């Protein structure tokens, strides 16, 4: 079982950059896309269906903005669009599918890079935490995959000292991520790999910043402790270049 999370930064642009060939080659069971920047009627869904996927799509009301998609193989028992709070759901920030084996959340958390959005991000963090903790009571085998827009630890960012006052590495954000993990989750990548210099997002300027690997690790698969015995591996795939992010693949036994 392989599950990918991938902030595609525009799914139509990703398709032009060979995303479909990558999907064919990787043969993933589930793909969680964030920041798709398109409505379902703007993309030829049959491209994914021809690969054996069911397609679930949660667009933002604002055109060309945000949005989440899950591609899924196998039986889906239930689909949930959003967390029931309009100011987040209108931006398409969360999509969930329930299977017999586990529940999978695809989420695109706010960035907070603009001051007027930072409070929105803090509000999201509080409400998302409450949502997940409550959901976990009825769905104990839960995977939260997506772009969290937060680096948890100093080894998750190439220049921690310079970024201490920047959204994405603020003390409040990092403490929130610790709190979420302590609520019964595992950072699946760090479960296997404790080394620095593993990143999932790079700025687009200057142009050589990705080749120099000056990045941030902000894309994660958090897995409940009830699934710990089923985690086989978690890999970051920086060679996939359809976006300013790269995919992260979780493997379950």
Mean pLDDT of 1-15: 98
Which one, of 26, 67, 68, 23, lies nearest residue 49 by Cα?
A: 23
Host H or E run for residue 38: none
Q: Which residues contact 190 (CB under 8 A, 6 or more apart)?
A: none
Question: What confidence category does residue 178 fall into, taking pLDDT thresholds of 50, 70 and 90?
Answer: very high
Mean pLDDT of 10-26: 98
Quick check: 98 and 71 in contact, CB under 8 A? no
Question: What confidence category does residue 65 fall into, taking pLDDT thresholds of 50, 70 and 90?
Answer: very high
User: pLDDT tens digits, residue range 235-248?
Assistant: 999 999 999 999 99
> Is residue 116 over pLDDT 90?
no
Superfamily of domain 2-252: Endonuclease/exonuclease/phosphatase (3.60.10.10)
- What single-letter DSSP state applies at residue 153? S
> Is residue 6 over pLDDT 90?
yes
- What residue segments make up the domains of the chain, in order of their start? 2-252
Residue 47, phi then psi, degrees to nearest 5? -60, -40
Question: What confidence category does residue 115 fall into, taking pLDDT thresholds of 50, 70 and 90?
Answer: confident
Tokens 């620095």 appear where? 196
Task: List residues with catalytic annotation.
Answer: 147
Specify the pLDDT at position 138. Answer: 98
> Is residue 154 over pLDDT 90?
yes
- What are 211's two structure tokens? 């080749």
Average pLDDT, the chain: 97
Q: Is the pTM of this model over 0.95?
A: yes
Specify the pLDDT at position 113. Answer: 81
Which burial class, exposed, middle or buried, applies to 111 when counting CB atoms under 10 A from its CB (0-12, 13-18, 19+)? Answer: middle
Which tops the pLDDT comparison, 112 or 181? 181
Mean pLDDT of 139-154: 98
User: pLDDT tens digits, residue range 192-211?
Assistant: 999 999 999 999 999 999 99
Q: What is the Cα–Cα distance from 220 to 147, expressed in whole angstroms? A: 7
Task: Write down how long the chain is.
Answer: 253
Q: What is the Cα–Cα distance from 46 to 25, expressed in whole angstroms? A: 18
């Amino acid at each position: 079982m392989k599950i990918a999370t991938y902030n595609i930064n525009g799914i139509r642009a990703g398709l032009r950059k060979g995303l479909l060939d990558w999907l064919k080659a990787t043969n993933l069971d589930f793909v969680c896309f964030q920041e798709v920047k398109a409505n379902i009627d703007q993309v030829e869904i049959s491209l994914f269906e021809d690969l054996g996927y069911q397609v679930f799509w949660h667009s933002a009301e604002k055109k060309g903005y945000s949005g989440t998609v899950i591609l899924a193989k196998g039986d889906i028992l239930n689909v949930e669009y959003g967390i029931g709070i309009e100011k987040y759901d209108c931006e398409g920030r969360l999509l969930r599918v329930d299977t017999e084996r586990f529940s999978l959340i695809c989420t695109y958390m706010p960035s907070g890079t603009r001051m007027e959005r930072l409070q929105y991000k803090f509000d999201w963090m509080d409400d998302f935490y409450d949502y997940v903790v409550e959901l976990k009571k009825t769905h104990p085998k839960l995977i939260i995959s997506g772009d969290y827009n937060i680096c948890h630890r100093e080894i998750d960012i190439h220049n921690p000292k310079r970024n201490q006052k920047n959204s994405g590495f603020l003390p409040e954000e990092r403490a929130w991520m610790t709190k979420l993990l302590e609520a019964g989750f595992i950072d699946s990548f760090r479960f296997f790999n404790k080394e620095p210099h593993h990143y999932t997002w790079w700025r687009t300027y200057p142009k050589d910043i990705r080749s120099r690997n000056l990045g941030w690790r902000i894309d994660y698969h958090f897995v409940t402790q009830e699934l710990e015995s089923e985690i086989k591996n978690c890999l970051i795939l920086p060679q996939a270049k359809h976006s300013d992010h790269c995919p992260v693949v979780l493997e379950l036994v």
